[in-house]
């Protein structure tokens, strides 16, 4: 348990940041799930629209420190290739 005032403050800050980051991660996962569902339904137009909406969310996660840049890039790349394969 934190004893010094500085450590107590840091613990409070960590709790707040954890809550914010958890909400951001959840939001990103929701957008990714929408893309997955559109791909599963076979609707290429809906999948492309969902992917277009998900890309800024992923990159926002990178700038906010929730995701690593390469992780977001990898996810976008794999989703984009799956969306492109949907119409084929």
pLDDT digits (tens, 9 = 90+) for 5-18: 999 999 999 999 99
Distance CA 80, CA 3 (A): 49
Residues 14-73: tens digit of each pLDDT? 999 999 999 999 999 999 999 999 999 999 999 999 999 999 999 999 999 999 999 999
pLDDT at 31: 97
The listed CATH number (3.90.1150.10, 1.10.10.10, 1.10.10.60, 1.20.58.110) that belongs to domain 5-86:
1.20.58.110
Contact status, residue 2 vs residue 8, Cβ threshold 8 Å: yes
pLDDT attached to residue 88: 63
**pTM given for the model:** 0.86
Query: What is the C-alpha separation between 48 and 85, in angstroms, rounded?
Result: 11
């Amino acid at each position: 348990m934190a004893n010094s005032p500085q450590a107590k403050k840091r613990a409070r800050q960590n709790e707040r940041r954890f809550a914010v980051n958890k909400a951001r991660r959840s939001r990103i996962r929701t957008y990714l799930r929408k893309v997955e569902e559109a791909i599963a339904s076979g609707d290429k137009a809906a999948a492309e629209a969902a992917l277009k909406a998900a890309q800024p969310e992923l990159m926002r996660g990178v700038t906010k420190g929730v995701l690593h840049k390469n992780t977001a890039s990898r996810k976008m790349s794999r989703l984009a290739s799956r969306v492109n394969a949907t119409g084929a």
